[in-house]
Chains A and B, each alone.
Chain A
Amino acid sequence: MGQVENAIEIVDLKKSFTEGDYVLNGINLEIPKGKITVIIGFSGTGKSVLLKHILGLLKPTSGQIKILGKDIAKMSETETVKMRKHFGVLFQYAALFDDRTILDNVRFPLDEHRKDLSKKQITDIAFEKLKQSGLDEKHYNKLPGEVSGGMRKRCGLARALALDPDILIYDEPTTGLDPILTEMVDNLILSTHNHKDDTASLVVSHDLHAAFRIGDYVAMLDSGKVLLYGTPKDFMESDNPLVSRFVSKGVRKK
């Protein structure tokens, strides 16, 4: 781990919404480039709050969140907006703009940030990303409401990939999906990751089976702290009772 360059480095991160009550209570975590890191944990352990800090949507009470070497907590709003261009985010329910077609959704970040490209070039890139995400061309001019959940996820991923981000974040990508779609999304994450070697992928999930299948590293949160960080093998061999309980539940569920 020491040799790998980190895309995200979190140092003693604490967050409290009400005085004395810490949702995040001293998180230390490194997300390396070129690897898939999965953050898991029971509900209410601070996964979403941690994600919002990484995206700069929340400011920490104390601690550091270094994104590509720069502390996002100390950045001005303009700097944070600039920094976010390094992120591609696939939201839990894809969060597509429902008044824009599938193609326009993918074009959107390019229209906003790539003023140097012509409309034709932007459309070509959008086509390429949609194809990379495995979405059939006949759906490109449909509205998000007219396609299935799986297709929306693919479109959401294509949009996340549009600006060739350095860090790809998947927020609960398989929540609410059936086992076949879950496997499809897992494969999509793997194939997307294999497509660009130096991208850091961060998956926030409570699906242990998926975490072990796709993750190079897994971090388990509990009570606002990282309970265990390591490879899936480290988790299987852990004698921590809480980790064992989580692992056994995950295996039984599978």
Chain B
Amino acid sequence: MRENVRQRVNDFFDLVLGTIWQTIENFIFEVGSVFTFGAYSFKSFFRKPYRFKEFIQQMEFIGNKSIFIVVLTGTFTGMALSFQVYLGFRLVNATSLTGPIVAMGIARELGPVLTGLIVAARAGGAMAANIGSMRVTEQIDALQVMGVDPQEYLVAPRLWASVVSLPLLTGVFDFVAMIGSYFLCIKVLEMDEAIFWDKTALWLNPSHINEGLIKGAVFGAVFSMICTYRGYNTKGGARGVGDATNRGVVLSMVMIIILDFFLMNLIEIYYKLTA
């Protein structure tokens, strides 16, 4: 009887540990595949024929067409964050620090992360769906048999356009968020304008802005690699395209948030080493 129970407990733990190990193994394999796929595609951009036209088209789609939504979310995020920070600092009579704290928070964290999430949802989803539907309708096979490398033609311009667009959009987000913060603090909460700008200029370093821009570029690379990889490896019909889009966007968002933490530490270490 006791042997039987022990056996069943062992079986249960085997099953649980086996499932956990399998999940980890799958995740590592997936990450490896995404990086191999991304590395080849990034490199292929510098091979002839150069795909500048496709790159500009993707810049227009990823960058230009995301500006409106980035401006909208940036402005309201700046105002909402300023109000929360103001309420907190009012308790300790330090409302004059609202400007710089909001500026640092936006430039170093919220700017790149929220821009990354917004663009991953908008452009990343479209990338996965577009490439995925090309896969299931044999358009990618058609490219291959016409002697065109699909990764060089379809994936590389999207990857580079994301890497270039994301820091620019992050800059736009930072700028409009500060305008939102200024509007709320000065025009609504009637704080002193000179103190607001003075303190902000004193506390906010160019390195804080750079940190956000670097993160933006990394997030651009990450979401575009994941979404194009998912689209490129779509299997099945319309359902497969839906799955690829869904999994691409969700994984991109999770990776952006996880990577943000590690990047923050890495950049901090780099600044300490080079100080």
Least CB separation from B130: chain A residue: A99
Taking CB atoms, residues of chain B closer than 8 Å to A57 are 141, 144-145
Partner-contacting stretch, out of B76-84, B146-154, B190-198, B244-252: B146-154
A242 within 8 A of B: no
Q: Do A95 and B144 touch across chains, with their CB atoms under 8 A apart?
A: no
Stretch at the interface among A9-17, A81-89, A133-141, A209-217: A81-89
| CB-defined contacts of B139 to chain A, threshold 8 Å | 95-98
Of B134, B137, B138, B149, which contacts A81 at CB under 8 A? B149
Asked if A157 CB lies within 8 Å of chain B CBs, one says no
Chain A residue contacts of B145, Cβ below 8 A: 55, 57, 84, 87, 89
- B49 engages A95 (CB within 8 Å): no
Identify the stretch in A107-115, A176-184, A186-194, A197-205 within 8 Å (CB) of chain B at 4 or more residues.
A107-115
What is the chain A residue whose CB lies nearest that of B149?
A: A81
Q: Is A22 an interface residue (CB 8 A)?
A: no
Contact status of A112 and B148, CB under 8 A, knowing A89-B142, A91-B142, A95-B142: yes
Which of B49, B138, B146 meets A84, CB within 8 Å?
Answer: B146
A16-72 interface (Cβ within 8 A of B): 55, 57
* Mask of B235-274 contacts with A, CB within 8 angstroms, 1/0: 0000000000000000000000000000000000000000
Q: How far is the CB of A159 from chain B (nearest CB, A)?
A: 8
Question: Is residue A93 contacting chain B, with contact meaning CB distance below 8 A?
Answer: yes
Question: Of all chain A residues, which has the CB nearest B139?
Answer: A95
**8 A Cβ contacts from B107-162 to A:** 134, 137-139, 141-142, 144-149
- Write out the residue numbers on chain A whose beta carbons fall within 8 Å of the beta carbon of B49: 112, 115
B175 to chain A, nearest CB (A): 33
Q: Which residues of the partner chain B approach A101 to less than 8 Å between Cβ atoms?
A: none
Q: Is A93 a contact of B137 with CB atoms below 8 Å? A: yes
Interface centre among B49, B144, B147, B149 (most CB of A within 10 A): B147
B141 in contact with A95 (CB, 8 Å) = yes
C-alpha gap A98/B140 in the complex (Å): 12
How many chain-B residues does the 8 Å CB contact rule pick out?
13
Residues of B within 8 A of A95 (CB): 137-139, 141-142
Chain A interface residue count: which class? 20 to 34
* Residues in B neighbouring A55, C-beta threshold 8 A: 144-145
Contacts of A93 in B (CB 8 A): 137-138
Give CA–CA (A112, B144) in the complex, Å.
12
Query: CA of A92 to CA of B62 in the docked complex: distance in angstroms?
Result: 33
State which of A82, A91, A97, A115 has its C-beta within 8 Å of the C-beta of B147.
A82
- Nearest to B49 among chain A residues (CB) is A112
Which of B49, B134, B141, B149 has most A Cβ within 10 Å?
B141
The answer to whether B141 and A108 have CB atoms under 8 Å apart is no
Residues of B within 8 A of A96 (CB): 139, 142
Please, how many angstroms separate the alpha-carbon atoms of A97 and B147 in the complex?
Answer: 15
CA distance A113 to B149 in the complex (A): 12
Q: Could you say which residues of chain A place their CB within 8 Å of the CB of B142?
A: 89, 91, 95-97
Determine whether the beta carbon of A84 is less than 8 Å from that of B147: yes
Q: Would A112 and B137 count as touching, CB distance under 8 A?
A: no
Q: Complex formed: what's the CA distance from A144 to B145 in Å?
A: 20
- Chain B, residue nearest A90 (CB): B142
Q: Which residue of chain B has the shortest Cβ distance to A89 in the bound complex? A: B145
Chain A residues with Cβ under 8 A from B134's Cβ? Answer: 97
Q: Decide if B146 touches A108 in the complex (CB within 8 Å).
A: yes
Q: For the complex, what is the distance from the CA of A241 to the CA of B88, rounded to whole Å?
A: 88
Chain A residues with CB under 8 Å of B149's CB are 81
The residue of chain B having its C-beta at the shortest distance from the C-beta of A86 within the complex is: B147
**A115 to B142 Cα, complex, angstroms:** 20
Interface residues of B in 172-216 (CB under 8 A from A): none
* Cβ of B49 to closest chain A Cβ, rounded Å: 7
Residues of chain A contacted by B146 (CB below 8 angstroms): 84-85, 108-109, 112
- Residues of A near B137 (CB, < 8 A) are 93, 95, 98
Q: How far is the CB of A58 from chain B (nearest CB, A)?
A: 11
Q: How far is the CA of A93 from the CA of B142 in the complex (A)?
A: 11
| CA–CA, A91 and B137, complex, Å | 10
- Contacts A55-B145, A95-B138, A108-B146 aside, 5 further interface pairs with beta carbons under 8 A come to A57-B144, A95-B139, A98-B137, A109-B146, A112-B146
Show 22 residue pairs from A and B whose CB-CB distance is below 8 angstroms, ordered by the A residue: A57-B141, A57-B144, A84-B145, A84-B147, A85-B146, A87-B145, A89-B142, A89-B145, A91-B142, A92-B138, A93-B137, A93-B138, A95-B137, A95-B139, A95-B141, A96-B142, A97-B139, A109-B146, A112-B49, A112-B147, A112-B148, A113-B147
**Across chains A and B, which 7 residue pairs bring their CB atoms closest together, nearest first?**
A95-B138, A95-B142, A84-B147, A89-B145, A85-B147, A81-B147, A109-B146
